[in-house]
């Protein structure tokens, strides 16, 4: 831009400029987001603007700890711009774990169809679908979680397929896999198998299954190490489950 940012001045000025000039302030915001001394102010100022150029710094913020909430807020506020920007990032570097996790986060929040629509326009639908469905547990250095003794596939309510032609309830092996993938999941990164289960099994059977896992965790002492058992109610439960939790 031909000048450098003086932190004490620009930290106050960037939000005001973004508010007054909107999209015309994008070049300034992009430069500020790449400047550590004013990055925090720029992340706040950019919240109201949706543009693919903002996706890379927002994905980086989402991947970190200090500014994760701001990165998350922007992704949720501008999901189509975010998805388009992330797909552009992955076109340049298909191994970017930060971009993959951000894209999966958007899928978790209900934007799978929108992501695949954008990918279709780019002629990359099959590639992106494979990425969304890829097992993150197979990535290098990822530790496979252990399911606790108090949760056993053979003692849980049956998961009934939505499609009557899909056969009988989920097998014990399928349930065990679902439990492992649920244990891996968190609010920002839900394993694709958990998302698939939400589409595959009936709401009533999912809710009963998740609630039984939650009650087993409570009965075993509610060890925070296995708090995913409570999160499972959010992943697979229904509105009645949510009301019971509250």
pLDDT tier for residue 4 given thresholds of 50, 70 and 90:
low
Rounded to two decimals, what is the model's pTM?
0.78
pLDDT of residue 98 exceeding 90, the answer is yes
- Of 10, 19, 73, 8, the residue nearest 45 (C-alpha): 19
pLDDT tier for residue 1 given thresholds of 50, 70 and 90:
low
pLDDT tier for residue 6 given thresholds of 50, 70 and 90:
low
Tell the residue number behind the tokens 């995913």, with chain if given.
Answer: 228
pLDDT of residue 21 exceeding 90, the answer is no
Looking at every residue in the chain, the average pLDDT score rounds to: 91
pLDDT, tens digit, 9 for 90 and up, residues 181-217: 999 999 898 999 999 999 999 999 999 999 999 999 9
**Distance (Å, whole) CA 209 – CA 121:** 38
**Distance (Å, whole) CA 138 – CA 187:** 20
- How far from 228 is each of 145, 233, 245, CA to CA, in Å? 11, 9, 14
């Amino acid at each position: 831009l031909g000048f450098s940012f003086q932190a004490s001045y620009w930290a106050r000025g960037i939000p005001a400029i973004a508010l007054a000039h909107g999209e015309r302030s994008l070049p300034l915001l992009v430069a500020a987001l790449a400047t550590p001394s004013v990055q925090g102010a720029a992340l706040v100022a950019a919240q109201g603007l949706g543009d693919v150029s903002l996706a890379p710094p927002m994905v980086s913020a989402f991947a970190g700890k200090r500014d994760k909430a701001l990165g998350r807020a922007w992704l949720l506020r501008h999901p189509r711009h975010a998805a388009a920007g992330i797909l552009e990032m992955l076109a340049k570097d298909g191994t970017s774990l930060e971009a993959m996790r951000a894209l999966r986060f958007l899928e978790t929040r209900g934007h799978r169809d929108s992501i695949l629509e954008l990918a279709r326009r780019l002629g990359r639908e099959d590639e992106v679908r494979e990425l969304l469905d890829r097992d993150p547990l197979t990535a290098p250095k990822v530790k496979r979680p252990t399911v606790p003794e108090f949760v056993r596939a053979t003692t849980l309510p049956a998961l009934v397929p939505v499609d009557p032609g899909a056969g009988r309830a989920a097998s014990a092996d399928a349930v065990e896999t679902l439990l492992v993938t649920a244990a891996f999941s968190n609010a920002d990164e839900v394993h694709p198998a958990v998302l698939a289960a939400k589409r595959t099994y009936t709401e009533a059977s999912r809710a009963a299954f998740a609630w039984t896992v939650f009650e087993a965790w409570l009965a075993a002492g509610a060890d925070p190490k296995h708090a995913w058992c409570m999160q499972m109610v959010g992943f697979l439960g229904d509105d009645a489950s949510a009301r019971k939790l509250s």
